[in-house]
Amino acid sequence: MQKVIEVNGLARSYKIKKGTKKALDDVSFEVYKGEVFGLLGPNGAGKTTTIKILTTLLLPTGGNAKVLGYDVVTESRKIRDKINFVYGGERGVYGRLTAREYLHYFCTLYKIKNKEQTQLISELLELVELKDNEGQKIHTYSKGMTQRLHIARCLINEPQILFLDEPTIGLDPLGARLLRDLVKKLSSNGITIILTTHYMQEADELCDRIAFIKNGKLSMIGNPEEIKDSCNHLKLYEATMNLSDTESLKRDSFFTNVEIEAIKEPFYTVNFEVDESITEKISDHLGRYGMVLKLRKKDISLEDAYVHHMKDVG
Ligand SMILES: Nc1ncnc2c1ncn2[C@@H]1O[C@H](COP(=O)(O)OP(=O)(O)OP(=O)(O)O)[C@@H](O)[C@H]1O
């Protein structure tokens, strides 16, 4: 497998009032050609900092990184010609232009020959499913349409790697679905994609491999199944109950990470973790707080694994 990104001991510190803040601390990973690679972590973990360094917008303060074999510090120009990036919730579009006019403008900036522009723009609009709206002014676009237009713009230079920082942020479910489908399409066209997202289901659906970042350090890396398997020891349960005393159940130390959600009072879904693995014992214990209608051990989701790994992040 061809390595397209190699990150070695990468570090980035920021000067702040009370000294320095390590946004990235000794981070190392590799990305292979054609992968959808997810960077996941809580706010402030260092995801955007990593992407900014790899897209040559920010210099590292330690370690090194190569993108397509080029060093991010000394060969940034060569990298920029071959990659592109979209930040979630990006504005920066020219509302009074139509999508076609907007893409023409960027084609000119990218020095695409005039006679090739019309055909290229038609193909891009088709790909991002905006062909029917190409004559519409951008300020009338939904957020999802605008985001897909940004992606069309980023494809003008035929990037080998596309960096997408929270691409579905603020999109409604349908808009997010169209965008995820577009990511899959780009990936099947051979583009390597580096993605950050806070939506675990999205990461599970799209990513070939995932890295968890926590406090500027890489804490785990693997494919979604490996990451979920690493949490197979967790005993997570879901109960459906006719619950008379939610507060006492929450305080009971037999259960940890209790989450109670009302279905329709007095019926609740209760999610929790236990040390016990004998279902009858768990059921008996739950029975102190109401009638157990259903109890099942949950399959570990990527979100469960994420919550478990990030538990001690302040
Ligand atoms: N210009 C800056 N000056 C000082 N600190 C900064 C600067 N940019 C980022 N940081 C800090 O670096 C850390 C990492 O930030 P970064 O934006 O990379 O996190 P993130 O994982 O992308 O978070 P989010 O999910 O909120 O986008 C944070 O603690 C942030 O406050």
Share of the chain residues as helix, strand and coil, in percent rounded to the nearest 5: 35, 30, 30
Q: Are 179 and 293 contained in the same domain? A: no
Which helix (H) or strand (E) segment holds residue 113: the answer is none
Give the position, in ligand 1's atom list, of the atom nearest the Cα of 16.
Answer: 4
Tally of structural domains, the chain: 2
Last residue of a domain, one of 229, 245, 271: 229
Q: Is the CB of 14 under 6 A from ligand 1?
A: yes
Cα of 220 from ligand 1 centre, angstroms: 20
Give the position, in ligand 1's atom list, of the atom nearest the Cα of 51.
Answer: 18
Evaluate whether 272 touches 259 at the Cβ level (below 8 Å). yes
Cα of 282 from ligand 1 centre, angstroms: 42
Which two structure tokens, joined as six digits, stand for 76? 């940034």
Last residue of a domain, one of 213, 229, 245: 229
Q: Is the CB of 47 under 6 A from ligand 1?
A: yes
pLDDT of residue 17: 87
Give the integer Cα–Cα distance in Å for 153 and 107.
Answer: 8
Give the integer Cα–Cα distance in Å for 89 and 175.
Answer: 13
Cα of 53 from ligand 1 centre, angstroms: 12
pLDDT of residue 278: 85
Give the position, in ligand 1's atom list, of the atom nearest the Cα of 21.
Answer: 5
Cβ-proximal residues to 6 (8 Å cutoff; 6+ apart), any chain: 30, 65, 66
Which two structure tokens, joined as six digits, stand for 260? 């109670």
pLDDT for 255-269, tens place per residue?
988 999 999 988 999
Using CA atoms, how far residue 182 sits from 83, 112, 145, 153, 191, in Å, is 17, 23, 12, 14, 12
Give the integer Cα–Cα distance in Å for 218 and 244.
Answer: 43
99, 101, 103, 106: CA torsion to nearest 10: -140
67 φ, ψ (degrees, to nearest 5): -120, 125
Residue 286 identity (one-letter amino acid):
L
Give the integer Cα–Cα distance in Å for 241 and 297.
Answer: 15
Protein residue with least CA distance to atom 31, ligand 1: 44
CA terminus-to-terminus distance, the chain? 37
CA 83 from chain centre, in angstroms, equals 18
Cβ-proximal residues to 81 (8 Å cutoff; 6+ apart), any chain: 157
pLDDT for 75-129, tens place per residue?
999 999 999 999 877 666 688 999 999 999 999 999 999 999 999 999 999 999 9
In this structure, what CATH number is given to the domain that contains residue 12?
3.40.50.300
Cα of 21 from ligand 1 centre, angstroms: 9
pLDDT of residue 79: 97
Q: Is the CB of 16 under 6 A from ligand 1?
A: yes
Q: Are 121 and 162 contained in the same domain? A: yes
Q: Are 69 and 90 contained in the same domain? A: yes
pLDDT of residue 312: 59
Low-confidence residues of the chain: pLDDT under 70 = 90-93, 312-314
In this structure, what CATH number is given to the domain that contains residue 287?
3.30.70.260
Q: Are 53 and 172 contained in the same domain? A: yes
Q: Are 39 and 145 contained in the same domain? A: yes
Q: Are 154 and 250 contained in the same domain? A: no
Q: Within 10 A of 50 (CB to CB), how many other CB atoms are there?
A: 30
Q: Are 32 and 123 contained in the same domain? A: yes
Quote the domain boundaries for residue 136: 3-229
Q: Are 121 and 264 contained in the same domain? A: no
